[in-house]
Amino acid sequence: MNLTCSAKELEKQIINWRRELHQCPELGLDTPVTAAYLSQRLTEMGIEHRMKVGVSGIVGIIRGNGGNPCADKVGRQKTIGLRSDMDGLAIIEETGLAFAATNGNMHACGHDAHMAMLLGAAKILQDHRERFKGSVKLIFQPAEEGPGGARLMISEGALENPDVDAILGLHIGIISKEVDTGQVGIHYGNMMASLDDFKIRVIGKGCHGAMPDTGVDPIVMSAQVVNALQTIVSREVRPTHSAVVSIGVIRGGRAFNIIPDEVEMIGTVRAIRSDVREMIAARIKEIVAGITGAMGGSYEYHYTMGYPPLVNDARFTREFKKTAERIAGAENVVEMSEPSMGGEDMAHYLEKVPGTYFLLGSNNPAKNIIHPHHSSKFDVDEDVLYLGSALLAQGAFDWLKKEASVNMTE
């Protein structure tokens, strides 16, 4: 069964959902207007769902009734999850779209499109539930942009009752230059980096700028720290194991002729591998301690482990590739040659259950849709939205069908 035609029939509705959601961007975990909108749509479809999972998240369930259930050896029904993020960004929109947001926030990362595509997939699967066995769990998650809603939703049972056995999600936009408009980008194994942050407080002793010998200069110490931290990646990480250490904020001092007491630095670490991530976190502390100690100062160091590396299950991804080729055409399914250094808390779900996260290209220079994620002019080509719904729906349908056939032969 190919669900592309069903998605195409819904295209205008999916675009309308996206535009309505685009106008009400909300931040973090607190997305009540968005949640109410999604709940109303799911209710209209007759889909059972639970509200306020992870503050504003929604978990829906579609139960297939196509004959004998898709079950494991002990008779437990198999379930696949489909996930979309919900939150926007604190960016004033400058797209000029007729449906642009006016509340000071913006869906500048495509989450409005993600929700609309998942609603489309939900409608397709609900309408065809007599054609498949097992269940599909719909996960609408807040706070992907921070502080991270996936972990909270998991802790509140999003992957339970019924237990999720596999999961599928997507990101629209221009994350990879290898994936063009309407193309599907897949990657086996480690696809996206961890997303961590750290704060360093370099403590010295303030003094007159003309008498540096009477103090301990935290600015000079900080300069040494910044340079030394760059050698972690260039000299301690294997070149094939991608990683980044970046300082984004340095604060210290208020006058040109006064050496301050301290300097604060804030930065981020990205790593494709968990072992590299842990090594970098330890080495930053050792380097800061060594430099400040050698120069007569001291330090404070706080490292926050954010999202882990996103790791796609190779077996699930191979099967999904077949699905994507049916929907988009083999020539439009791209095996990405490199992972992305961006972070995504879809990684938390993929730590718990096998699955895959894929990309859907939506840039279109002919329509001036060229701006990157988190830009005030970011937009997506709405002509590809129906493909996203088809890919999610078909991915769930094909996985449940395969699991049912495996169960029958065991």
Instruction: Evaluate if residue 211 carries a pLDDT over 70.
Output: yes
Instruction: Provide the pLDDT confidence category of residue 127 given band limits of 50, 70 and 90.
Output: very high
- The pLDDT score that the predictor gives to residue 71 is 60
Marked catalytic residue, from 37, 307, 349, 386: 307
Instruction: Evaluate if residue 121 carries a pLDDT over 50.
Output: yes
List the CATH code of the domain at 195-307: 3.30.70.360
User: What confidence tens digit (pLDDT) does each residue in 372-410 have?
Assistant: 999 999 999 999 999 999 999 999 999 999 997 765 444
- Between helix 11-22 and helix 385-409 the angle, nearest 10°, is 110
In percent, the amount of the chain with pLDDT more than 70 equals 97
Instruction: Give yes or no: 382 in active site.
Output: yes
CATH class belonging to 4-189+310-409 = alpha beta
List the structure tokens of 374. Answer: 């988190």
Instruction: Evaluate if residue 305 carries a pLDDT over 80.
Output: yes
Closest of 17, 3, 8, 2 to residue 386, by C-alpha: 8
Instruction: Provide the pLDDT confidence category of residue 74 given band limits of 50, 70 and 90.
Output: low
**CATH 3.30.70.360: which residues of the chain?**
195-307
Instruction: Evaluate if residue 83 carries a pLDDT over 60.
Output: yes
Place of tokens 């790791």: 311
* Distance from C-alpha of 345 to C-alpha of 355, rounded to nearest angstrom: 14
Marked catalytic residue, from 93, 145, 344, 382: 382
Burial bucket for residue 93 (CB in 10 Å: 0-12, 13-18, 19+): buried
- The pLDDT score that the predictor gives to residue 66 is 78
Cis peptide before 162 (omega within 30 of 0): yes
Instruction: Give yes or no: 307 in active site.
Output: yes
User: What confidence tens digit (pLDDT) does each residue in 53-62 have?
Assistant: 999 999 999 9
Q: Cβ(139)–Cβ(325) under 8 Å? A: no
User: What confidence tens digit (pLDDT) does each residue in 18-44 have?
Assistant: 999 999 999 999 999 999 999 999 999
Closest of 224, 230, 223, 225 to residue 244, by C-alpha: 230
**CATH 3.40.630.10: which residues of the chain?**
4-189+310-409
CA atoms within 13 A on the CB side of 7: 25
Convert 13-49 to b/e letters by CB count within 10 Å (16 or more is b): bbbebbbebbbbbbbbbebeebbebbbebbeebebeb
